[in-house]
Amino acid sequence: MKRLATGVPGLDVVLAGGLEPGAVVVLAGAPGAGKTILAQQICFANATPEHRAVYYTTLSEPHSKLVRHLEQFDFFTAEALGSRVEYLHLGDLIRADQPGRLEPVVDEVVGKAMEEQPLLVVIDSAKALRDFAGERELRMALYDLTSRLAHTDAALLLVG
């Protein structure tokens, strides 16, 4: 089975070649540990025009700031933005006037994955979703998301 290289050689050894297509991976750690950079490195290492990486942000950094921080890394190529790595914002779907309703987020992510067949979907920060739903609603939304994405070969990275 072809795996998605992380772009970090030592990590790929530990992961037996990288991430498995269809896997659900949680990148967790303290603030500043490098979770967002690692997730983006995996996107840029694997995405092609035919099988893009879709990078969803919740309520974290603006996309312009994310890109500005990436410019210092060797893996980053500005030409890949949009054509290979697509950044999308989920903040508008997380409605403060409809607390506990994460269905629009799940529908967006699954719909995009089913329609475009990306090789990688990232949600950064998945932890922020907890601020907009109770524990039960969050658990149900994550179950719906992961079970519905299982019908694709996209690996899902939940950063947070």
Q: What is the pLDDT of residue 61?
A: 73
pLDDT tens figures, 136-153: 999 999 999 999 999 999
At residue 99, what is the residue type? P
Q: How confident is the model at residue 96 (pLDDT cuts 50, 70, 90)?
A: low
Backbone angles phi, psi at 122, to 5 degrees: -120, 135
Q: Which long-range contacts (CB under 8 A, 24 or more apart) does 32-36 make?
A: 35/124, 35/159, 35/160, 36/60, 36/61, 36/66, 36/124, 36/159
Q: What is the pLDDT of residue 65?
A: 85
Q: What is the pLDDT of residue 118?
A: 97
- Cβ atoms < 10 Å from Cβ of 11: 15
Q: What is the pLDDT of residue 66?
A: 85
From the list 59, 53, 112, 118, the residue with the least C-alpha distance to 86 is 53
Q: Which of the pair, 13 or 131, is modelled with greater confidence? A: 13
What is the edge-to-edge ordering of all strands in the sheet holding 24-27?
24-27, 155-159, 120-124, 53-57, 85-89
pLDDT tens figures, 35-56: 999 999 999 999 999 999 999 9
Q: What is the pLDDT of residue 5?
A: 92
pLDDT(100) > 80: no
CA gap 46, 29 in Å, rounded: 23
Q: What is the pLDDT of residue 129?
A: 86
Beta bridge partners of 85: 53, 81
Run of H or E including 124: strand 120-124
